[in-house]
Amino acid sequence: RRSFLTTGATGLGGVAVGAAASALLFDDHASTPAADLVTGLGTTAVATPFPHQAGISVPARQQSHGTVVAFDLVATASAGQLKTLMKAWTAAIADLTAGRVPAGSSEATDTTALGSGPCSLTITVGFGPSLFGKAGVSPDARPPELAPLPAFGTEQLDAARSDGDLGVVIAADDALVVFHALRTLTRAAAGTATPRWIMSGFSRAPGSSPDAASTSRNLMGQLDGTNNPTPAQPGFEGKIYVAADAPTAWLRGGSYLVFRRIRMLLDSWDAQTTAEQERVIGRHKDTGAPLSGGTEHTPVNLSGQNPDGSLAIRGDAHIRLAAAASNGGATILRRGLSYDDGLKPDGQPDAGLLFLAWQADPNHGFIPVQQHLTRSMDALNRFTTHETSALFAMVPAPAADGYLGQALLE
Ligand code: HEM
């Protein structure tokens, strides 16, 4: 009798407590102490995939915790201060992602993550449209792709929790490691920039599922990420990363991040039948298979029909309207985080998706897809509200002796 704990995946999800549990979960002949199964999680460091920053398509498996933070420059911030900040962040990120106490703080004063390894920490930094025109950054240097996003129907945006001069995505397999990185960057910014908003979310813990490569679920209970582009697919680099010969020289190797806090109206969602929920998305909830047939990764057949001649994937189904084929090839890499922030004042869950979409150009990515979802009345719109929005040009990885954003700032 074997349990999935002996198949090679870490067995966090199968670990239960007590004697009955070990009888249930462990191989009769090869029982393994639970603690050993997650060894290695803390010591894992993510190498920078030059010329890209880590945290976009690397690591392939999303870390289990993440915080997205926007900073605004203080009104008096000078060009020199901005440059100094980017140098300080570059050095801190190199230390933190290697699991070292950042230079400038000592183990005596900075004990927050003492004893923790890097836990696959990645920190990804970018510039918002509002940076241009401040701290010596010329408004003319702003690429056309970094124009503020257009207004979309059906959104109810909170301006105070949207936008920002600098955007940072911090992710790791441990919430304390993420928090420590946030505090370190915030301290380094003192006098130059202050946090404008901070939002945190989570993804599946490594090992919580016996199949580490399987798709994880969002708070609506759907497999989310099935039809994401993958680095192995032809054209992936060009769709997600700014090309090596792109006109905006300082952003070559970078990527654009569209961030949306999308609240899920979970009480209304839960009141639907499973069949209706499946029609809203166009996929089965349990397996993730498209309603046009097959299994989870069977290509979607948008013209497939039911026996009665109706479309298998309804006209307003989310995957029909969001598909690249329905949007002139527009492609995004979605790496969302679930969030659960308790209750809204009306007692409804304040929960949903911190939606992160990565692309080489938002005009061939998020913008046309979101316009289509809005104008063609995506069936999912009835169960979601976009509450905040931000766009950042995420810069390329710094050269070995350089710093983040150097090609723009020097
Ligand atoms: C696909 C959920 C918002 C773009 C999917 C799928 C689910 C899903 C379950 C099918 C599985 C998959 O391929 O990942 C959600 C939820 C959302 C949301 C719960 C909000 C809370 C958005 C937004 C966009 C978007 C705002 C872009 C503007 C896409 C794309 C696909 C997709 C491009 C793949 C379609 C395909 O090619 O088959 N989404 N989504 N989604 N979604 Fe969303």
Q: pLDDT tens-digit profile of 322-338?
A: 999 999 999 999 999 99
Question: For residue 383, which atom of ligand 1 is closest to its CA?
Answer: 21
Q: What pLDDT shows up at residue 12? A: 56
Q: How far is the CA of 64 from the centre of ligand 1 (A)?
A: 20
In what helix (H) or strand (E) does residue 387 lie, and over which residues does it extend?
strand 384-394
Decide: 301 and 291 in contact? Cβ < 8 Å.
Answer: no
Mutate to test the pocket of ligand 1, among 156, 224, 359, 366 (most ligand atoms within 8 A of CB): 224
- Predicted confidence band of residue 245 (pLDDT cuts 50, 70, 90): very high
Average pLDDT, the chain: 91
Residue 139 has pLDDT above 80, yes or no: yes
Nearest residue (by CA) to ligand 1, atom 33, is: 322
Q: Residue 184 carries which side chain, given as an amino acid letter?
A: T
User: Which protein residues touch ligand 1 with a CB less than 6 Å away?
Assistant: 218, 220, 222-227, 262, 264, 281, 283, 300, 318-319, 322-324, 332, 352-353, 355, 366, 369-370, 373, 380, 384
Contact 351, 219 (CB under 8 A): yes
Dist. CA 81 → ligand 1 center (Å): 40
Q: How far apart are CA 286 and CA 296, in angstroms?
A: 10
Contact present, 376 and 322 (Cβ < 8 Å)? no
When comparing pLDDT for 291 and 5, which is higher? Answer: 291
> How much distance in Å is there from the Cα of 318 to the middle of ligand 1?
7
Rounded CA separation 4/15 (Å): 10
Read off the amino acid at residue 164: G
Is residue 376 within 8 A of residue 359, CB to CB? The reply is no
Compute how many other C-beta atoms are within 10 angstroms of the C-beta atom of residue 288: 20
Condensed to tens digits (0 to 9), the pLDDT of residues 254-297 reads 999 999 999 999 999 999 999 999 999 999 999 999 999 999 99
More confident residue, 25 or 149: 149
- Per DSSP, helices labelled H in 51-132 are 79-97
What is the predicted pLDDT for the residue at 94?
97
CA 391 to centroid of ligand 1, rounded, Å: 18
Amino acid identity of 355? F
- Ligand 1, atom nearest to 283 Cα: 10
pLDDT (mean) for 35-58: 88
Report the complex ipTM.
0.99
**Looking at 203-327, which runs of residues are DSSP E strands?**
255-264
Site to substitute for ligand 1 among 268, 319, 338, 372, most atoms within 8 A of C-beta = 319
Residue 3 banded pLDDT, cuts 50, 70, 90? very low
Give me ligand 1 centre to Cα 224, in Å: 7
Task: Determine if the peptide bond prior to 345 is cis (ω within 30°).
Answer: no
At 27 the pLDDT is 36
| pLDDT score at 375 | 97
Q: Are 332 and 369 in contact (CB under 8 A)?
A: yes
pTM equals 0.93
Mutate to test the pocket of ligand 1, among 203, 215, 227 (most ligand atoms within 8 A of CB): 227
Catalytic residues: 224
The CA–CA distances, whole Å, from 341 to 183, 311, 345 equal 20, 38, 12
Are the CB atoms for 193 and 75 separated by under 8 Å?
no
CA-proximal residue: ligand 1, atom 4 (nearest): 322
Phi, psi of 336 (to 5 degrees): -80, 165
Q: From the CA of 367, how far away is ligand 1's center (Å)?
A: 14
**Spatial CB neighbours of 294, under 8 Å, sequence gap ≥ 6:** none
Q: What is the mean pLDDT of residues 305-321?
A: 98
Q: Specify which residues 193 forms β-bridges with.
A: 73
